Chains A and B, each alone.
Chain A
Amino acid sequence: MTRHRCGRTTARLLLVLSAPVAANAQAPPPPTRAALVRADVFVASRHHWRGIRRSDGPVLHADAAGGVRLGRFSLTAGGWAGLELREADGVSHSDLRPGHWGLAEWDGWGQAAARLGPAILALGVLRSTYLRQSEHPSVTEVYGSGLIHFNRFAASLGVWHGVRGAEGTYLEPSIAFHHFINPFSGPALGWTTTATAGMQAGRRESAPGIPGATGTGLTHAALTSTVRLAVNVGPAALVFAMAPVIQVSRDPATYGNGSDVRFWWPFQAGISWPLRRPE
């Protein structure tokens, strides 16, 4: 029952989001069919996800995806892996058991997406496998996401609904403001501030070792200010980013003491291929 209600909510939210999209839709690009491929490797100073501290130590995130573009639509599938690069010590947060380091999570996903003028919509399935426990529990979620740009503002909504290994629906609306984007050629230098909120509708009811909100309602709210520098290197882009975050936590999973305010300043560096900055 909860699941059905959440599914309808998701559909309604996407419908609401798509209404202004249709109004703002630009003329469609010429029909094109092209193969899509992408890979990224990033090292980050720490890992947070849905407001939850996953690792206080350095992590390596790698992903690869491919698919096909049909005009404004795309069908893609990909995988993502998160590795912790420092042994978990049992004191600081870690997805792995104390004394371990290495692969902590791997995900696989498939989705259909559409780019409608200033908006991007996606619907897909995501399966996440966690390696903290010896039995490697996993979660399958269906998700929908939408993002629309109004000049320097961007509004987005992501909805993840657990279908296996977890229940409930997690929603994450956000509003971003682009302070600066390098208007000239050369390195891509951007500065964006994003306000994000996390909400859990229906209890997650997941197995031990699977991260997620423990309660319902607002899980956290965060303000992130990201400075990103990308330099074209051959067919790829070398990316450096720092993103100081201030977060107000409500759900115990997002911080052990319930409501709290925290600040951290993560860094990341990596390479994205073939995401070169256009001329």
Chain B
Amino acid sequence: MTRRPLLLFLLASVSCGAWKAQPLPTPVSRAVPGSGTFRAGAGIADITPPPGVSLGGSGPEGRRSTGVRTRLFVRALVLEDKSGERIALVVADLSHISASLHRRAAARLLDSTGIGADRLILSATHTHSGPGHFYGERQYNKNATRHPGYDPRLADFLVERIARAVHGAVAGLRPARIAWGERAIPDVTSNRSMPAWCRNEGIPAALCRNQDPKGAVDPSLLMIRADEAQSSASAPRPIGSYSIFAIHGTGIPTLNTLIDGDIQARVVRRLQWHTYPSPPVAVPIHLFANGAEGDAAPIVPRYRCEVPRPGILDPFPMPRGPDPAVEFLEPAPKRTTACMDSALAGVERLADSIARPARALFDELLVSLADTFSIRRAFGTSWLPGSDGLCGEPLVGSSTGAGAEGMATRIRGWRWILWPFPIGLEEGGTARDTRPAACHTPKRPLFGSLQSALLVGDHGFPETAQLSVIRIGSLVLAAVPAEVTLVAGRELRAAMEEAAERRDWTPARTAIIGLANGYLQYVTTAKEYEQQDYEGGSTLYGPASSAFLARRLGELTALLPRNAGAGSPPAQVLPITAYPGSAKAIMPLPAAGPERVDYSALTVTCTPDSLSARWRGLSPGRVFQQPGYVLVYRPGPAGSTLIASDGDGRLELHLVGMEKDGGARWRAVWRRPGLSGIHRLVITREGTGSVNAREFDCR
């Protein structure tokens, strides 16, 4: 071997090795001097990636994105009590949070804000139409979407934007008062795993007898409202709100190819409309976090929604030639359109049903605002494999490959590969295997012993859990890096309440913030685990997972001081190593393609209920830096009014294709039933970023 190839080989080995193990920072919060007043601030940053990244959360059904329907954001609400104890509540429009995102964002914040990993509660809304490719866990980069790969640029982008949102919130800290309350919102969620839920002890037998999945959910929406100190009923000055509501972000079907924040984004938008104040008061920022949503599915109609089915790939048959290629073929376009239309209408209706009581609760809380809350937190990092009843090796069950009820994968029901030997790929049934008795029993591992030996390997799944317990006055919140089922969530809360009572204080309310600070997939109760539905199959560390987390949260709760006189206990921000796998450039580069294009080919088509425009424009990486690429105005006597922009949920932006010179062909579709009169479409920031817009009238 000559020197040059040897050098290249060594360099390649080193760079591959670097992606294999990445020790994460251990940022522990620094003390911040108290201002003597309760303060709050809110911030927001856009995290919409350009089309081209795959949509995470749906495994093999996670398609490559081709545009945007709603832009994605990360929102932050920072609360600081009189003694200077800070907490940053952050919610990102992502499917999950990786511990590596959490740690790296905290490291960026530490010097400027004092907020470390132990005071950053970073959670995901759980939209299944956000990007994948950012995890610190190799297996999620491989299987959270249909297209595998870890993109360090995307991860860096998210970390930077998370930090930007929190920096904005800290910069906006001002004297404030807060209040919290809750309201039940029935009939918007249902339990998607009734056979497992019914295995639990002490649940209403009538619900199981009647198969009433709407009754097997937690309908409560918990909200913290923060206002400026001088806010009053006559002159409200809201800073923002933080809500927790258990609902899967799966209103948008897996056939979708547009980036979309799902139900949560639409609820937030409705809250935004409700509280939009008059200038110069800052726009309030609403955060909508998820709760114990492991088995809570949104009630959204699915009309003609199908998964791809096997078919012949060859465009035409041949009487002589090789055997035809069999592949999964997409459903017919008309069916996909019917599915998407019905689901989108359902998601809008569901968002209305949630936002209406949420707005009422927000209004109610105005009269009970106070600045007497103290903030305390306890934080711990736990090693998982083999700890305290957990299995020594993380495994997913074959029911995970089948997908959850209502979110089936294309291989759901493929229980027989080699008859008569079952392999699962269904919920319950053959996904259960009681032989031999082992830690994971009755889980039938997906692909059996091949899973850990060949497909996952060492460190493919998460091996640590970051847990937080936050006390805001008498409200106690637990940040859990998992999708916890309803009953498992109750077990966790009960453990926290018992621990508090042993310390002679009683929380007024406890709640779970799910999908926070990392991602361990699901956590079910031991009884639910026996069923091996999707959630049980996806409980990585076996049937004792819920009990393990309950013990840890109880221990953290016990560390919290009884009264406001004492500060927060020391935080255990222990070392964590990320194993994201090999790096791959997936997110389009911001500087790709030409800086200017000739887009004289723009065409606009109007129909009674929509507007469609096509043009040749800049590359996805260039136009997705900020929102507001395509705008719709309605001219009026007092000037033009902006009524739509790309990514607002109604104005869809589609990437039709790429040009040879790096430019792109775009299409915008504005769904607005009853559209009439003159409208103007403006495409902004073409070329150099100055005045380079085109305007069109649409009559």
Q: Are B414 and A26 in contact (CB under 8 A)?
A: no
Q: Are A185 and B147 in contact (CB under 8 A)?
A: yes
- The contact of B332 among A40, A117, A190, A191, by CB within 8 Å, is A117
B402 to chain A, nearest CB (A): 11
User: How far, in whole Å, are A190 and B414 apart by their CA atoms in the complex?
Assistant: 14
Q: Which residues of A contact B316 (CB under 8 A)?
A: 36, 38, 65, 67, 69, 74, 76, 111, 113, 122
Q: Are A154 and B310 in contact (CB under 8 A)?
A: yes
User: How far, in whole Å, are A181 and B333 apart by their CA atoms in the complex?
Assistant: 22
Confirm or deny: A275 has a beta carbon within 8 angstroms of a beta carbon on chain B.
Answer: yes
Q: Which residues of A contact B671 (CB under 8 A)?
A: none
Q: Are B418 and A179 in contact (CB under 8 A)?
A: yes
User: How far, in whole Å, are A241 and B328 apart by their CA atoms in the complex?
Assistant: 18
Confirm or deny: A195 has a beta carbon within 8 angstroms of a beta carbon on chain B.
Answer: no
14 other A-B residue contacts (CB within 8 Å) besides A63-B322, A118-B311, A149-B311: A67-B316, A69-B316, A78-B318, A78-B321, A109-B318, A120-B312, A145-B319, A151-B309, A152-B310, A184-B60, A184-B146, A185-B146, A185-B148, A239-B322
Q: Are B335 and A74 in contact (CB under 8 A)?
A: no
Q: Are B309 and A27 in contact (CB under 8 A)?
A: no
User: How far, in whole Å, are A55 and B332 apart by their CA atoms in the complex?
Assistant: 42
Number of residues on chain A facing chain B (CB within 8 A): 60
Confirm or deny: B370 has a beta carbon within 8 angstroms of a beta carbon on chain A.
Answer: no
Confirm or deny: B323 has a beta carbon within 8 angstroms of a beta carbon on chain A.
Answer: yes
- Give 4 closest A-B pairs by Cβ, nearest first: A27-B334, A26-B332, A80-B320, A183-B60
In the complex formed, the residue of B with least CB distance to A26 is B332
Q: Are B310 and A183 in contact (CB under 8 A)?
A: no
- The contact of A188 among B312, B327, B409, B410, by CB within 8 Å, is B327
B187 to chain A, nearest CB (A): 33
A124 to chain B, nearest CB (A): 6
Interface string of A118-139 (1 = CB under 8 A from B): 1010101010000000000000
User: How far, in whole Å, are A63 and B323 apart by their CA atoms in the complex?
Assistant: 12
Confirm or deny: A263 has a beta carbon within 8 angstroms of a beta carbon on chain B.
Answer: no
Confirm or deny: B325 has a beta carbon within 8 angstroms of a beta carbon on chain A.
Answer: yes
User: How far, in whole Å, are A10 and B414 apart by their CA atoms in the complex?
Assistant: 34
Q: Which residues of A contact B321 (CB under 8 A)?
A: 40, 61, 63, 65, 78, 80
A-B contact pairs, 20 of them (CB 8 A): A27-B335, A36-B316, A38-B315, A40-B321, A61-B322, A69-B315, A80-B321, A109-B320, A111-B317, A111-B319, A149-B309, A149-B311, A149-B312, A152-B310, A188-B327, A239-B325, A272-B322, A275-B325, A279-B64, A279-B146
Confirm or deny: B585 has a beta carbon within 8 angstroms of a beta carbon on chain A.
Answer: no
Confirm or deny: A87 has a beta carbon within 8 angstroms of a beta carbon on chain B.
Answer: no
User: How far, in whole Å, are A19 and B248 apart by their CA atoms in the complex?
Assistant: 42
Q: Which residues of A contact B333 (CB under 8 A)?
A: 27, 29-30
Confirm or deny: B205 has a beta carbon within 8 angstroms of a beta carbon on chain A.
Answer: no
Q: Which residues of A contact B418 (CB under 8 A)?
A: 179
User: How far, in whole Å, are A226 and B323 apart by their CA atoms in the complex?
Assistant: 10
A8 to chain B, nearest CB (A): 21
User: How far, in whole Å, are A27 and B321 apart by their CA atoms in the complex?
Assistant: 29
A123 to chain B, nearest CB (A): 10
Interface string of B284-327 (1 = CB under 8 A from A): 00000000000000000000000001111111111111110111
In the complex formed, the residue of B with least CB distance to A268 is B322
Q: Which residues of A contact B328 (CB under 8 A)?
A: 181, 183
Q: Are B319 and A124 in contact (CB under 8 A)?
A: yes
User: How far, in whole Å, are A154 and B60 apart by their CA atoms in the complex?
Assistant: 23
User: How far, in whole Å, are A122 and B211 apart by their CA atoms in the complex?
Assistant: 48
B263 to chain A, nearest CB (A): 26
Q: Which residues of B contact A40 (CB under 8 A)?
A: 321-322
Q: Are A120 and B331 in contact (CB under 8 A)?
A: no
User: How far, in whole Å, are A268 and B321 apart by their CA atoms in the complex?
Assistant: 12
Q: Are B326 and A178 in contact (CB under 8 A)?
A: yes
Confirm or deny: A143 has a beta carbon within 8 angstroms of a beta carbon on chain B.
Answer: yes
Q: Are A109 and B319 in contact (CB under 8 A)?
A: yes
Q: Which residues of A contact B332 (CB under 8 A)?
A: 26-29, 117
- The contact of A151 among B310, B334, B409, by CB within 8 Å, is B310
Q: Are B309 and A179 in contact (CB under 8 A)?
A: no
Q: Which residues of B contact A188 (CB under 8 A)?
A: 325, 327
Residue among B146, B322, B334, B411 facing the most chain A CB atoms (10 A cut-off): B322
Confirm or deny: B275 has a beta carbon within 8 angstroms of a beta carbon on chain A.
Answer: no
Interface string of B323-353 (1 = CB under 8 A from A): 1011110011111000000000000000000
Q: Are B317 and A241 in contact (CB under 8 A)?
A: no
Q: Which residues of B contact A78 (CB under 8 A)?
A: 318, 321
Confirm or deny: A186 has a beta carbon within 8 angstroms of a beta carbon on chain B.
Answer: yes
B583 to chain A, nearest CB (A): 17
Q: Are B417 and A180 in contact (CB under 8 A)?
A: yes
A131 to chain B, nearest CB (A): 15
User: How far, in whole Å, are A74 and B318 apart by their CA atoms in the complex?
Assistant: 12
Confirm or deny: B468 has a beta carbon within 8 angstroms of a beta carbon on chain A.
Answer: no
User: How far, in whole Å, are A67 and B315 apart by their CA atoms in the complex?
Assistant: 11
User: How far, in whole Å, are A56 and B60 apart by their CA atoms in the complex?
Assistant: 41
User: How far, in whole Å, are A87 and B688 apart by their CA atoms in the complex?
Assistant: 69
Confirm or deny: A165 has a beta carbon within 8 angstroms of a beta carbon on chain B.
Answer: no
In the complex formed, the residue of B with least CB distance to A41 is B322
In the complex formed, the residue of A with least CB distance to B142 is A184
Q: Are B417 and A147 in contact (CB under 8 A)?
A: no
Q: Known A29-B333, A275-B325; judge A183-B411 contact (CB<8 A).
A: yes
A97 to chain B, nearest CB (A): 23
User: How far, in whole Å, are A222 and B404 apart by their CA atoms in the complex?
Assistant: 38
Q: Which residues of B contact A186 (CB under 8 A)?
A: 148
User: How far, in whole Å, are A184 and B327 apart by their CA atoms in the complex?
Assistant: 11
Q: Are B143 and A74 in contact (CB under 8 A)?
A: no
